[in-house]
Amino acid sequence: MTYAFGGPEEYHGKDMWKAHEKLARGQGLNDNHFNIIVKHLVGALQKFNVPEVIFQKQSQMCSR
Ligand code: HEM
């Protein structure tokens, strides 16, 4: 999240598919779950009046 919001930390971990592959293949994790998280996140950002340009970038990164 810090990385997605332009913070000093850089993310060098697995891409989102690799990180969640076991869960997707074995436990039914799917796009809906990710979309729900992004929806809640965007809702929270809107509630606190975070400029749209910032959270658009953030949700693009989460959907990779
Ligand atoms: C926008 C949504 C999400 C983001 C950005 C995200 C991000 C991440 C990241 C960065 C990791 C660590 C990857 C690594 O080991 O390098 C991770 C792992 C994990 N995530 Fe997510 N995640 C999201 C949604 C979810 C959801 C919906 C679930 C389950 C309901 C979930 C469950 C987990 C679990 C259990 C791990 C550990 C997997 C393992 O080590 O085998 N994540 N996630």
Predicted pLDDT at 6: 75
Residue indicated by tokens 């919001």: 5
**Where does 1-64 have alpha helices with state H?**
16-27, 31-47, 52-62
Alpha-carbon gap, residue 3 to 11, rounded angstroms: 6
Alpha-carbon gap, residue 40 to 38, rounded angstroms: 5
Q: Is the CB of 8 under 6 A from ligand 1?
A: no
Report CA-CA distances (Å) from 2 to 5, 21, 28, 62. 5, 23, 28, 12
The model's pTM is 0.78
Predicted pLDDT at 24: 95
Q: Is the CB of 33 under 6 A from ligand 1?
A: yes
Q: What is the number of the ligand 1 atom nearest to the C-alpha of 22?
A: 41
pLDDT tens profile 6-64: 778 788 889 889 999 999 999 999 999 999 998 998 898 889 988 776 666 655 665 55
Predicted pLDDT at 11: 82
